[in-house]
Chain A
Amino acid sequence: MTVAAAHEIKTGHSSPARKRRDLTVRRRTPLVTLLPALIGLAYLVLPLAGLVIRAPWATLPERLVAPEVLMALWLSVQTATIATIACLFLGVPLAWLLARSSFRGRQLVRALVTVPMVLPPVVGGVALLLVFGRRGIVGSWLDSAFRITLPFSTAAVVMAQVFVALPFLVIAVEGTLRGADTRYEEAASSLGASRWTTFRRVTLPLIAPGVAAGAVLSWARALGEFGATITFAGNFPGRTQTMPVAVYLALETDVDAAIVLSLVLLVVAVGILASLRERWLSSGATA
Chain B
Amino acid sequence: MALLAGHGCGSGSVDIGSADAGSGKISGRVTVFAAASLTEPFGRIGEAFEAAHPGTDVVFNFAGSTTLAQQLNEGAPADVFASADPIPMRRVADAGVNAVDPTTFARNRLVIAVPAGNPQGVTRLSDLAASGVTVALCVEQVPCGRAAAQALASAGVELAPATLERDVKAVLAKLELGEVDAALVYRSDVRSSARVAGVEFPESAGAINEYPISVLAKAPNPRAAAAFVAHVLSGAGMSVLADAGFEAP
B 37-73 to A, binary, CB cutoff 8 A, 1 in contact else 0: 0000000000000000000000000001011001000
Q: Does residue B190 face the partner (Cβ distance < 8 Å to A)? A: no
CA distance A234 to B163 in the complex (A): 5
Contacts of A255 in B (CB 8 A): 70
Contacts of B158 in A (CB 8 A): none
Contacts of B161 in A (CB 8 A): 236
Q: Does residue B187 face the partner (Cβ distance < 8 Å to A)? A: no
Q: Which residues of A (244-261) have their CB < 8 Å from a CB of B?
A: 248-249, 251-253, 255
23 residue pairs from A and B, CB less than 8 Å apart: A135-B178, A152-B162, A152-B163, A234-B136, A234-B162, A234-B164, A234-B165, A234-B174, A235-B139, A235-B164, A235-B165, A236-B161, A249-B139, A249-B141, A251-B67, A252-B64, A252-B70, A252-B139, A252-B141, A252-B166, A253-B66, A253-B141, A255-B70
Q: Does residue B219 face the partner (Cβ distance < 8 Å to A)? A: no
Contacts of B177 in A (CB 8 A): 129, 133, 135
Q: Output the nearest chain B residue to A232 by Cβ-Cβ distance.
A: B179
A151, A230, A240, A251: the one within 8 Å of B70 (CB): A251
A152, A230, A233: the one within 8 Å of B166 (CB): A230
Q: Does residue B111 face the partner (Cβ distance < 8 Å to A)? A: no
Q: Does residue B230 face the partner (Cβ distance < 8 Å to A)? A: no
Q: Does residue A279 face the partner (Cβ distance < 8 Å to B)? A: no
Q: For the complex, count residues of A whose C-beta is within 8 A of B.
A: 19
Q: Does residue B142 face the partner (Cβ distance < 8 Å to A)? A: yes
CB distance from A141 to the nearest CB of B (A): 14
Instruction: Provide the main secondary structure of the chain A interface.
Output: loop
B64, B142, B178: the one within 8 Å of A134 (CB): B178
Contacts of A251 in B (CB 8 A): 67, 70
Q: Output the nearest chain B residue to A241 by Cβ-Cβ distance.
A: B164
Closest 9 CB pairs of A and B: A234-B163, A135-B178, A152-B162, A252-B66, A253-B141, A252-B141, A152-B163, A151-B179, A235-B164
CB pair B179–A152 under 8 Å, yes or no, is yes
CA distance A101 to B199 in the complex (A): 59
Contacts of A129 in B (CB 8 A): 177, 179
CB distance from B136 to the nearest CB of A (A): 7
CB distance from A131 to the nearest CB of B (A): 12
Contacts of B164 in A (CB 8 A): 234-236
CA distance A277 to B24 in the complex (A): 65
CA distance A129 to B176 in the complex (A): 12
CB distance from B180 to the nearest CB of A (A): 8
CB pair A133–B178 under 8 Å, yes or no, is yes
Contacts of B178 in A (CB 8 A): 133-135
Contacts of A149 in B (CB 8 A): 134
CA distance A249 to B142 in the complex (A): 10
Q: Output the nearest chain A residue to B67 by Cβ-Cβ distance.
A: A252
Q: Output the nearest chain A residue to B140 by Cβ-Cβ distance.
A: A253
Q: Which residues of B (66-82) have their CB < 8 Å from a CB of A?
A: 66-67, 70
Contacts of B141 in A (CB 8 A): 249, 252-253
Q: Which residues of B (157-174) have their CB < 8 Å from a CB of A?
A: 161-166, 174
Q: Output the nearest chain A residue to B64 by Cβ-Cβ distance.
A: A252
Contacts of A240 in B (CB 8 A): 163
CB distance from B100 to the nearest CB of A (A): 19
